[in-house]
Amino acid sequence: MNQVSHNNLVSFIWRIADDCLRDVYVRGKYRDVILPMVVLRRLDSLLEPTKDAVLEEVKYQKEDMGETELDDEPLKAASGYVFFNTSKWTMKKIHGTATNNQQILLANIEDYLCGFSDNVKEIIARFKLLDQMRHMAEKQVLLDVIEKFVSPNINLTPHNIEDPDGNILPGLSNLGMGYVFEELIRKFNEENNEEAGEHFTPREVIHLMTHLVFDPVKDKLPGVISIYDPACGSGGMLTEAQNYITDPDGQICADGDVYLFGKEINDETYAICKSDMMIKGNNPENIRVGSTLSTDEFSHTRFDFMLSNPPYGKSWNSEVKYIKDGKEVIDSRFRVTLKDYWGKEEELDATPRTSDGQLLFLMEMVNKMKSTGTSPLGSRIASVHNGSSLFTGDAGSGESNIRRHIIENDMLDTIIQLPNNLFYNTGITTYIWLLTNAKPEGRRGKVQLIDANLLYKKLRKNLGDKNCEFTDEHIEEITKACFAFNPIEREIDANNDPVGMAAQLFDNKDFGYHKVSIERPDRRSAGFSIEHLAPLRFDKSLREPMEWIWAEHGDKVYETGFLKEMTKTIIAWCEEQGINLNAKQRGKLLDTKYWLKLRDLLETATLLMGDIGKNETADFNIFREAVNKAIKTRKLKLSATEKNAILNAVSWYDEKAKKVIAKKHKFSRSDIDALTERLGCEASDLSDFGYYRQGDGSYLTYESSSDLRDAESVPLKDSIHHYFLAEVKPHVEEAWINLDSVKIGYEISFNKYFYRHKPLRSLDEVTEDILALEEKADGLIADILGVEVATKLEPVE
C-alpha cells in the first residue's frame, strides 16, 4: 500500500469519529474508541479466512475428544496466528444479523469478545473496549460504528479487495498497519495538545537508527538476534528493526531467528504494540506493561541490539521510591563505579534530577548490554535524546556520572545532532546517541560528533510540529559519514551561510574536566556586643518565626506547655508568611527544651563578653585564643558547634583583617616528601596548595572564606596546577588550590564545537538594501536618512 492509500485509509477512519461519535464523546475521547476498534477489526480480518477451521477444531476438542478446557496450540495452528477466536461471530456477521435491539447486539459483541484467546483478551482489557462497547450501545451508535469498520469501502485486511464500484483497495501490510496506527495516534495527540515528550519517532529517524545499529555488523549477525526497546510505545522501533533485518528486499537479511522485547507504561500503546507483535507472529509475552524504571523486568536478559526514543523532559518523581531510599540508590542499574581524583574507586549515584528521566532509560540499556566475552559483537545501542542529556548536571551529579561512566568505559561511539522540527509533537533539537561495547580498533578511545542539523528536506505541509524530513539520500550521507569516521568541514554557500553536514573526532578525555575549588583566606574582625550576641537566642534556620514568637510572648516561651498550647497559632502564622516547615523544623520550633538550650548558649556568651570585654580586634586569631582561655578558666562545657556559633556571632569578614589560621604544621623531611608526592608539586609550590612556609620552618594553613570560594573547570588534558598558575594566581595572589574538593565531570557541547561566527554585514551593504527598499517607498526612507536616491544605486560615502 502506498502513502496515498495510507492517507486515504487514515482519513476514512478519522471520519468515523466525526460521523458517529460527535454527540457521544468529547473530541479528546475519540481515540478511546477508534484505536481499539482499528485493532479489533484488524485482528478480526486476519482471522476471517480461517474461522471455519478454528470452529472445526473447537468442535473436535469438545465433542470428539470430550475436553472441558480447550487446548490453545491446535487452535493457534488452525488460525495460523498466535491468537484465535472460538465464538461463532465475526464483525461482519454481527453486523449482518444485527437488529435495532441494542441488548441483543451487545450480547453478541460480548460473546464475540469472550471468544478470543487470552492474549487478545488482555489487549481488550487494556483498551477497556467492552466498557466502550456498552457506552456506545447505550447511546445507540454501536451498530453505526461497526458498520463503518466492516464497510466494503475500507480494507484492513492484508489482501487486495474490490470496493462496490469495482476499484481495487490495496491490502494493508503489517508495516502499513504500523503507519496507520502512528498517523492516527499523531493526529489524536495533536488534537489533545499532548506534551512534547509524548511523541512518536518519524520512520525516517528509525531508518537512520537501524542503519547505524546494524550496518557495521551486517556480515557478522548472530544466528539468534534479540532486540530491545525499554520505552517501546506502539512498537515502531522494534518492528522497523525486524523488517530491516529480515525483509528480503532490505540490505541485511538474517537467516536466524529475531526476538523482540519491549516495555511500555501506557496501557493503550502497550495494547497496540502487543497486538502488532501477535499479528506479525512474534512472541507477545516479550512485550511487558508497566514502568521500566520501577521494575527491572528483564533483569537476567541481555540483548544484542537496543533502539529507543525514551520520554524526555518528563518527571520520574513518582518512581523515586523504587530507585532510591533517601539518598541511597537501591537499584543497581543506576549505580556506577568510578575512580575519584586520587584513583580510589567509589560507587556513585547515576540518577538524573527527578524532572527528567531520559538518562535512566539509557542506563537501563547499558545495563542490558551483552559482554564481549559472551558475544564478540557485544551490544549496539541507538537512543534519541534532547540536549539536556549532553550537558545538564555539574561534575559529581548523576547526569555527569552517567556520561562519565559511558565515555570512560569507551562505549560512546557517535552522537548525531538532528534538525529541529523533525518530530511530530516537538520542535526542540534532538540527538541520536550510538553506543557499543565492542568498538573496532580504529575507533577506540574516540568519539565522533556529527552535526546534521542543516541536512533536511522541507515538507509541503506540516505534520504537527514536524516541518521537515530526512530523505534516503540524507540517511545514506549520515550513515557513510558515521562509518568513515573522518572529520568533515562544513561547506559555505554564496551568502556565507553554512550548509550540509559537519563532523569532528575527539578523544574521550576531551569531554572531561576537573571541577576544583579555589580558596581564599578568611580575614575576620571580632568583638563582643549585646547586638552581636542577640541572634544566639534563635536557631539560624528558624530565625524569622522564632523572632516573631519571642517578640509576641517573651519569656513565656520558656514555660512548660506554653508552646504546645500555641501550636495552631504559630503554624498558622508560618503558613501566612509562606514559611514551609518540615517535621524536624516544626519539632525544634515547638520544643521548649530547645528554646532553653539556645537561651543557655546566649547566657554563656554573655558571661564570656564580661570576661573579655567589648573591644574590637582585626586579629581573629588572638580573639579566638582569648575566648578559648576564658572557656577553660570558667570550666564551661561547650561543644565545638556551640563554640563556633558564639565565635561566628561576634566576628565578621574584613578584607583588611589578619588571615584566620587553621593550623600550624611542623613537617619532617619525609612529611614534606609525602605531601609533595600526593599533591604532585615541588616543595616550593606548596603555597599554591594552601601550605605557607614560615620563618621557623613550620607551615601554616588558613581557614577559607566560603563567600570568596570559587570553582574552576579544568580540562582533563590540562594540569590543575598549570591552569591555576596561568588563569588564577595572576589575578588573585593569595588564592590556593583545594585538591580535596576535586570532582570529575563530563559534558558535550555541540555549540562549542560547531559554532561558526558569521560577521555582520558592512554599513555599505546595509545602506544599499535600505535604498533599494526606498524605491518602493516613494522617497520616505531617503527623507529620514537625509540622502538622495541615485538612478543607479551607488555605495554611500
pLDDT (tens digit, 9 = 90+) per residue, 683-736?
A: 999 999 999 999 999 999 999 999 999 999 999 999 999 999 999 999 999 999
Q: How many domains does the chain have?
A: 4
- Measured CA to CA, the distance from residue 429 to residue 453 in angstroms comes to 8
pLDDT (tens digit, 9 = 90+) per residue, 437-458?
A: 999 999 999 999 999 999 988 8
Residue 717 placed within a domain: no
**pLDDT at res. 793:** 45
182 touches 233 (CB < 8 A):
no
Please give the radius of gyration of the chain, using alpha carbons only, rounded to the nearest integer.
36
Asked whether the predicted pLDDT for residue 636 surpasses 80, the reply is yes
pLDDT: is 551 or 65 the higher one?
A: 551
Give helix 567-576 / helix 543-553 axis angle, nearest 10°: 130
Is the same domain home to 453 and 535?
no
Out of 5-9, 489-493, 639-643, pick the least confident: 5-9
Is the same domain home to 501 and 401?
yes
- Measured CA to CA, the distance from residue 378 to residue 242 in angstroms comes to 19
- For the segment 249-273, the average pLDDT, to the nearest whole number, is 81
Is the same domain home to 341 and 415?
yes
378 touches 370 (CB < 8 A):
yes
pLDDT: is 402 or 167 the higher one?
A: 402
Give the confidence band of 9 by pLDDT, cuts at 50, 70, 90. Answer: confident
Is the same domain home to 183 and 303?
no
Asked whether the predicted pLDDT for residue 791 surpasses 80, the reply is no
Mean pLDDT value across the chain: 89
**pLDDT at res. 196:** 37
Is the same domain home to 211 and 321?
yes
Out of 8-17, 200-209, 307-316, 756-765, pick the least confident: 756-765
pLDDT (tens digit, 9 = 90+) per residue, 746-783?
A: 999 998 888 776 677 778 878 888 877 777 766 565 56
Residue 78 placed within a domain: yes
Q: Is 292 exposed, middle or buried (0-12, 13-18, 19+ CB in 10 A)?
A: buried
Beta strands in 520-569 (DSSP E): 524-526
* C-alpha cell of residue 156: 484492513
**% of the chain surpassing 70 pLDDT:** 93
**Beta-bridge mates of residue 506:** 447
Instruction: Give the end of a domain, one of 590, 621, 653.
Output: 653
- For the segment 451-480, the average pLDDT, to the nearest whole number, is 88
486 touches 505 (CB < 8 A):
yes
Residue 496 placed within a domain: yes
Give the confidence band of 292 by pLDDT, cuts at 50, 70, 90. Answer: very high
Phi, psi of 643 (to 5 degrees): -65, -40
Give the confidence band of 797 by pLDDT, cuts at 50, 70, 90. Answer: very low
Give the confidence band of 250 by pLDDT, cuts at 50, 70, 90. Answer: low
Is the same domain home to 240 and 351?
yes
- For the segment 179-207, the average pLDDT, to the nearest whole number, is 70
Q: Following CA atoms 736, 742, 748, 753 in sequence, which dihedral angle do they give, to the nearest 10 degrees?
A: 30
How far are the Cα atoms of 23, 163, 177, 183, 528 from residue 151, in angstroms, in the given order? 22, 9, 18, 21, 93
Is the same domain home to 203 and 351?
yes
pLDDT (tens digit, 9 = 90+) per residue, 116-164?
A: 999 999 999 999 999 999 999 999 999 999 999 999 888 888 888 888 8
Residue 661 placed within a domain: no
**pLDDT at res. 288:** 95
Residue 718 placed within a domain: no
Asked whether the predicted pLDDT for residue 376 surpasses 50, the reply is yes
- Measured CA to CA, the distance from residue 530 to residue 610 in angstroms comes to 11
- For the segment 50-74, the average pLDDT, to the nearest whole number, is 90
Q: Is 695 exposed, middle or buried (0-12, 13-18, 19+ CB in 10 A)?
A: exposed
Phi, psi of 565 (to 5 degrees): -65, -30
**Beta-bridge mates of residue 417:** 431, 451
Q: Would the CA dihedral through 679, 680, 683, 687 be positive or negative? A: negative
Give the confidence band of 192 by pLDDT, cuts at 50, 70, 90. Answer: low
- Measured CA to CA, the distance from residue 103 to residue 82 in angstroms comes to 31
**Beta-bridge mates of residue 308:** 383
**pLDDT at res. 302:** 96
Is the same domain home to 219 and 133?
no
Is the same domain home to 176 and 284?
no
Asked whether the predicted pLDDT for residue 590 surpasses 80, the reply is yes
349 touches 399 (CB < 8 A):
no
Asked whether the predicted pLDDT for residue 619 surpasses 60, the reply is yes
How far are the Cα atoms of 130, 285, 464 from residue 730, in angstroms, in the given order? 76, 66, 55
CA–chain centroid gap for 752, Å, is 22
**pLDDT at res. 352:** 95
**b/e map of 422-457 (b: 16 or more CB within 10 Å)?**
bbbbbebbbbbbbbbbbbeeebeebbbbbbbbebbe
- Measured CA to CA, the distance from residue 145 to residue 20 in angstroms comes to 6
Q: Would the CA dihedral through 604, 610, 616, 622 be positive or negative? A: negative
Q: Is 514 exposed, middle or buried (0-12, 13-18, 19+ CB in 10 A)?
A: buried
Phi, psi of 661 (to 5 degrees): -80, 130
According to DSSP, residue 718 is labeled S
* Nearest one of 253, 213, 256 to 237, comparing CA atoms: 213
Residue 246 placed within a domain: yes
Asked whether the predicted pLDDT for residue 260 surpasses 50, the reply is yes
Give the confidence band of 740 by pLDDT, cuts at 50, 70, 90. Answer: very high
What is the distance between the terminal CA atoms of the chain, rounded to a whole angstrom?
Answer: 65
According to DSSP, residue 18 is labeled H
**pLDDT at res. 197:** 38
Give the confidence band of 5 by pLDDT, cuts at 50, 70, 90. Answer: low
pLDDT: is 189 or 383 the higher one?
A: 383
- For the segment 80-91, the average pLDDT, to the nearest whole number, is 93
Which residues lie below 8 Å from residue 386, measured CB to CB, with a gap of 6+?
A: 312, 313, 358, 428, 429, 430, 431
Is the same domain home to 393 and 502?
yes
Asked whether the predicted pLDDT for residue 670 surpasses 60, the reply is yes
Is the same domain home to 12 and 145?
yes
- Measured CA to CA, the distance from residue 551 to residue 544 in angstroms comes to 11
**pLDDT at res. 278:** 85
**pLDDT at res. 187:** 75
**% of the chain surpassing 90 pLDDT:** 68
pLDDT (tens digit, 9 = 90+) per residue, 522-533?
A: 999 999 999 999
Give the residue numbers spanning the domain of 765: 760-797
Is the same domain home to 176 and 305?
no
Residue 433 placed within a domain: yes
Residue 421 placed within a domain: yes
**pLDDT at res. 101:** 83
Instruction: Give the end of a domain, one of 594, 619, 653.
Output: 653
**pLDDT at res. 757:** 67
Instruction: Give the end of a domain, one of 653, 670, 693.
Output: 653
